[in-house]
Structure 1
Amino acid sequence: MNVLLVEDEHHTAQMLQEIIESDKDFIVIKTLDSIAETVLYLAKYGQNIDLIFLDIHLSDGHSFEIFRHIDISIPIVFCTAYDEYALNAIKNNGIEYILKPFEDEEILNALHKFKQLAGRFKKQMNFEIPAETHKMPVYQESFLARQKDRTIVVLTENIAMFAIEDDIVYLYTFDRKRYPVFKNIEYIANVCDPHIFFRINRQMLINRNAIVTIQPYFNRKVILELKVKSENQPIVSRLKVSAFKEWLEGGK
């Protein structure tokens, strides 16, 4: 499920994204930090959002201003340092009101609550997926990459990992070549086979066939030895370690 994160504190936004994406059912597809950006984004892409995590005090005012500019029917988890806005939050699609500083468990409980509410709504609507829509998903078989002044095609099966370096996404091939690609990491994570690729942190998406060893790292993280070398260390974030190990053992 797609999550929009609206938070003007960079560190808090990073922490929230890590916690949210530790639940494999959710992915943060965009992080915004202002009312103006949020109104414009929802006007264009609101139909693609399932859940919003919304701070109340943003860089350009109170986030309740957003509701004056655009109609929103998306469930919202309000996450703020102030406790006086709870009633207003409930009136504006709020399904949970979390006070900062928050615990990981509070965020995960909010996600669980959303899934329960979504499940009940579907049941009440007698929602059924037609049999003909039960098809195997189709994943991207190749990516376009830059090589000097030309564009080349790289088969997905030949890609060992994708990594963000200096705000640019690069793909690394098993023959130890590196190319910048035209897509962002969120898009790439959605179109790659999840049995083959795992997003170990915000910056890296790893092919299981590129992994050589797993070693303990500080703060309950793990670090990987890969068949290719990148500029940044391939460290599995703390909240993803259990899911990562299950993924490795699961196979296809």
Structure 2
Amino acid sequence: MQLLILEDEEPAAEQLRRFVQQYNPAARIVGECQQVSEAVDYLRTHPAPDLILSDIELLDGNVFRVFEQVAVSSPIIFITAYDSFLVQAFEQNGIGYVLKPVQYAQFAAAMQKYERLRQALQGAALQQLTAAYAPAPQYRQRLVSKSRAGLYVLPVADIPYFQLRNGVTHAVDGQGRAFVLNETLSQLEAQLDPAAFFRLNRTEIVQLSAIERLEAYFNDTLIVHLKGQTLTLTSSTHRTPELRRWLTA
């Protein structure tokens, strides 16, 4: 952990050094500034510290003048004799506000809060990184249908809909030809891209690009008219609201 101390009184600065060493012997104080101008120069020319321990009033003015001149990304624990700057402190990356005279227990509590926040942020960043680099789902691009005539290779993009007939899953192409599949309809639903295919009801899955129009039917169901086909499909009552959202996503 790398810390920057902004404090104009040597006894107070020495106390912070002791408290830092007591709290975390591995922590390193990378800089100390007694003036606003010093702090501005340091923050402009050095990497951002992990944490800043800062008084409010420095030798040449209020520490908030620092934040007017340089963007500060590091969290700050304010350690001060003044209790009137609380709102300003938390508007400027403040995560703690400790009043002087400082007791070690107060200092340690503020440091523990910093540790908790850092761990939470690191966990969130790791989740985002993992999600960003997670492999994209691999959806089925083709299916195979076995028949007496041989094997038919069916590009998924060419199948307007899938239908369960007498307990057997069929892929129906644009010419209305039905091909028997080994997969169940539920297995297919999990293997198809949900942005392109939708489960209308217990027995049918439709492809978005194959839909020509929808027609309201009774009991909050929809009749689905397909491009180039006279056959229509029907959404079940409980799937209709999700179908409407899916179509407008």
* TM-score, L = length of structure 2: 0.50
* TM-score, L = length of structure 1: 0.49
